[in-house]
């Protein structure tokens, strides 16, 4: 058992996890307490004795609870407020008196851990701009995969702008005060904005309590009620509305908690200013951050590879749902064989979807039966989407969940509403992988493992699929015939189904 404590400028977060020898980490407990460590710092320039004591008590309670849970190691990282306070030694000494060895980390390290927590050790597949708006600082990174091209910690935050700029955030905020806050954002982000303008990005992802809160408030006002993204146009209107409200009225805004009603002004203008300056029209929202990054970093330091972490996470989730392993392994083997042959034929790309996400979806495709066989594909989708599988970012989890969901019942068209949040290219990859999984599942529909190979060969516009099996597979062939129109529409070739119950398995295509 290991516990991680993130000592931030606004809140203290705790995450306790149980680690297994195969690198799986299962969350056991998490908690959060708002202590406003930075409020007196940005108002008076120092951490007050009162706030230091409040911090000591909170962290001390988290440490004791961690030990009660059986934590053998406890890691405590302090960020912006502790970095800047001239009397931070008083804070560290107070924590040390309770047996807590808090480590004050620099801004770039905080940004690295946040990115690691959001995307896992492999990083995002496309050039991604990440923004994490904390209480005292805002961490910005730009990069693709494991390569980080730019990393910065801006002196901007929800608590800092709410209490350190001379604006009374408890009352209504005038246009002049709003302009003052936005100019502060512009002056502090100059270098980051210039770099991003020069290099560009494919997508933007935001994390932290401020962005999560803003997205949840905005989602209540649109039809889809989906808090996984935030539009700049929504934020423009929202900040104008919140600024016109005194603190007492803000408390009645749906999804805006009482402990964030005052700092939402500062944090909201940081978000709005950066979305304008970076030219972000839409930002995706992640609920992961530094705590998860601390966990991933710890596991990797123990020698865990990305492959081990991801595969282990998938297997453990499947086991917790008491899956039918022989069937899942057979479907995975068939899916991997089909996808390999289709890549050679130019029908699939050789990328993370076919090499990893499809096999993982095959392992998990039936875990929804843990709830009920009826609509089990929908239950599977929900479980994967809300799982805590280490090593994946939230977009990868969404893709795995969708591939698994579409293995059963009606195959989705390109305009399916569940695909609407994906780019057209990603949606197409999900549908292609889902078709492969659906075919593989059909080939083992009776769960007897009698199909020994599925041999796919292309001749011109025809794709000939030969089912090599020990017994009668006529029902499997009939079901594949039902999939033929969707297959042909998706891949642009004519599918022909053949059965060869007695034939030998071609050596190069044995599963």
Domains of the chain: 2-105 (3.30.420.40), 108-289 (3.30.420.150), 306-509 (1.10.3210.10)
- Percentage of residues in the chain with pLDDT exceeding 90? 70
pLDDT at 391: 67
> How much is the average pLDDT of 298-312?
74
pLDDT given for residue 510 in this prediction = 36
> Does residue 210 register a pLDDT over 90?
yes
Between the CA of residue 491 and those of 176, 266, 434, 487, what are the distances in Å?
A: 57, 50, 12, 6
Per-residue DSSP letter, 5: E
Length of the chain counted residue by residue? 511
Cα 18 to the chain's mean position, in Å?
A: 20
Residue 312 has pLDDT above 90, yes or no: no
Residue 365 pLDDT exceeds 90: yes
With contact defined as beta carbons under 8 Å apart, do 405 and 377 qualify? yes
The region of weakest confidence among 89-93, 303-307, 374-378 is 303-307
Would you state the structure tokens that stand for residue 326, as one six-digit string?
A: 């022989």
Q: What is the pTM of this model?
A: 0.72
Q: Which residues, other chains included, contact 416 with Cβ-Cβ below 8 Å and sequence gap of 6+? A: none
Confidence of residue 23 (pLDDT cuts 50, 70, 90): low
pLDDT for residue 501: 65
Residue 66 burial (10 A CB sphere; 0-12, 13-18, 19+): buried
Q: What is the 3-state secondary structure (H, E, C) of 81-117?
A: HHHHCCCHHHHHHHHHHCCCCEEECCHHHHHHHHHHH
The answer to whether 268 touches 210, Cβ cutoff 8 Å, is yes
> Does residue 300 have a pLDDT over 90?
no
Strand partners, 198: none
Distance of alpha carbon 442 from alpha carbon 430, whole angstroms: 18
């Amino acid at each position: 058992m290991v516990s991680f404590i993130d000592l931030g400028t606004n809140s203290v977060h705790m995450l306790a996890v149980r680690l297994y020898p195969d690198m799986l980490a299962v969350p056991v407990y998490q908690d959060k307490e708002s202590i406003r460590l930075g409020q007196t710092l940005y108002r008076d320039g120092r951490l007050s004795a009162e706030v230091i004591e409040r911090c000591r008590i909170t962290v001390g309670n988290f440490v004791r609870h961690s030990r009660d849970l059986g934590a053998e190691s406890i890691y405590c990282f302090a960020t912006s407020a502790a970095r800047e306070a001239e009397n931070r030694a008083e804070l560290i000494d107070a924590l040390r008196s309770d047996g807590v060895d808090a480590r004050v980390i620099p801004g770039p390290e905080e940004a690295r851990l946040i990115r690691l927590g959001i995307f896992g050790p492999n990083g995002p597949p496309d050039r991604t701009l990440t923004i994490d708006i904390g209480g005292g600082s805002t961490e910005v990174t730009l990069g693709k995969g494991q390569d980080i091209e730019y990393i910065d910690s801006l002196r901007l935050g929800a608590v800092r702008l709410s209490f350190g700029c001379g604006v009374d955030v408890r009352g209504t905020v005038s246009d002049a005060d709003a302009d003052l806050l936005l100019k502060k954002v512009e002056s502090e982000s100059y270098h980051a904005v210039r770099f991003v303008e020069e290099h560009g990005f494919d997508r933007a992802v935001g994390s932290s309590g401020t962005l999560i809160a803003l997205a949840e408030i905005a989602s209540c006002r649109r039809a889809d009620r989906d808090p996984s993204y935030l539009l700049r146009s929504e934020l423009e209107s929202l900040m104008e509305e919140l600024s016109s409200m005194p603190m007492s009225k803000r408390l009645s805004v749906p999804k805006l908690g009482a402990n964030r009603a005052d700092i939402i002004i500062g944090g909201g203008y940081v978000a709005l200013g950066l979305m304008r300056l970076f030219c972000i029209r839409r930002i995706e929202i992640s609920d992961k951050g530094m705590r998860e990054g601390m966990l991933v970093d710890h596991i990797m330091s123990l020698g865990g590879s990305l492959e081990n972490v991801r595969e282990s996470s998938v297997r453990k989730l499947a086991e917790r749902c008491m899956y039918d392993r022989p069937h899942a392994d057979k479907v995975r083997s068939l899916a991997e064989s089909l996808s390999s042959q289709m890549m050679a034929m130019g029908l699939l790309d050789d990328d993370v979807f076919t090499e990893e996400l499809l096999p993982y979806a095959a392992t998990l495709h039936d875990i929804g039966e843990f709830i009920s066989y009826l609509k089990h594909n929908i239950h599977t989708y929900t479980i994967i989407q809300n799982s805590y599988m280490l090593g994946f970012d939230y977009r990868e989890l969404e893709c795995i969940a969708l591939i698994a969901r579409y293995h059963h019942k009606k195959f989705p068209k390109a305009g399916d509403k569940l695909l609407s949040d994906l780019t057209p290219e990603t949606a197409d990859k999900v549908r292609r992988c889902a078709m492969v999984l659906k075919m593989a599942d059909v080939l083992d529909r009776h769960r007897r493992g009698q199909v020994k190979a599925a041999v796919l060969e292309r001749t011109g516009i025809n794709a000939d699929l030969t089912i090599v099996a020990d017994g009668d597979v006529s029902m499997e062939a009939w079901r594949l015939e039902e999939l033929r129109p969707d297959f042909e529409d998706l891949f642009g070739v004519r599918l022909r189904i053949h059965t060869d119950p007695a034939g030998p398995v071609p050596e190069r295509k044995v599963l």
